[in-house]
Amino acid sequence: MVNDIILGQYMPTGSFIHKASPKLKIISLFLFTFSLFLIKDSYLYFYFLAVAFIILKLARLRASYLLRGLKPLIFIFVFTFVLNIMFSEGDKLLWEWGIIKITEEGLLYSFKFFMKVTLLVIYATLLTLTTSPVELSDGIEDCLRPLKLVKFPVHEFSLMMTIALRFIPTLVMEIDKIKRAQEARGANFSEGSLTERAKNFVPILIPLFITSFKRADELAIAMESRCYMGGEGRTRFRRKKDGAADYLMFIAVLAAVFPALVNFLASL
């Protein structure tokens, strides 16, 4: 289970995408996200899926590694897909049983929603796989720097977001440890109905909360021991400057998302 959670993990391979500006990578993620909501024609989802795998190849990461990261989310994907099919409105009725109606429009909407969520997870995972926690924090801070004009705590917010992302694999590891300990005491998480299996997970929650607070407290003590006092007056040990390669990569991203804009304007 631990190895299947990829979001929040960093995997250095030394590729030029790993070395690219974290600020531009974060902006690129927002551009891809925005583009996914502009798409009107379904075939473009496959185009953006191909773009994601090209980025994966350029980053020297294995496709199987990324696909394995989607496994824990399969149930959520399938559940929302089926739910959208059954309860989406439409004129072209394909099948009906009681209050459940499956329409052609519902199928299309469910497919689009499924592809949007899947691609969002893939692109977000690519960002965390190719950007270290420190770079991610600095990148978020650089993107939000204009908000300092309205006294927004940019540094604290970026640090909070980075810690939250990094806590995902940590929490999953703790869940796995607690689950194994419960199984050693006779707990069964793989048999019984869905309701029974859900009830069996309740004993995991309390130890997980306790462990989470303990880890958060340890992190706070570690930061205080290093004299961390917030972003005011804080400097960076390494300052990454955007170079020509970074801007060329960003131009390539703009070119990659351009078809979505054309598709949206053509549908108006």
> What amino acid occupies position 193?
S
What does the domain layout of the chain look like in residue ranges?
2-131+238-266
Mean pLDDT, residues 96-125: 82
User: Is there a contact between 126 and 60 (Cβ–Cβ < 8 Å)?
Assistant: no
Could you tell me the maximum CA-CA distance found in the chain, to the nearest angstrom?
A: 65
- Tell me the three state secondary structure of residue 129: helix
Each residue's pLDDT tens digit, 111-124: 888 899 889 989 99
Q: Find residue 100's DSSP bridge partners.
A: 97
Confidence band of 2 (pLDDT split at 50, 70, 90): very low
Query: Which residues, in sequence order, are CB contacts of 266 under 8 Å at separation 6+?
Result: 40
Which candidate, 149, 123, 153, 131, places its Cα nearest to that of 240?
Answer: 131
User: Is there a contact between 114 and 81 (Cβ–Cβ < 8 Å)?
Assistant: yes
Each residue's pLDDT tens digit, 202-224: 778 888 888 888 888 988 898 88
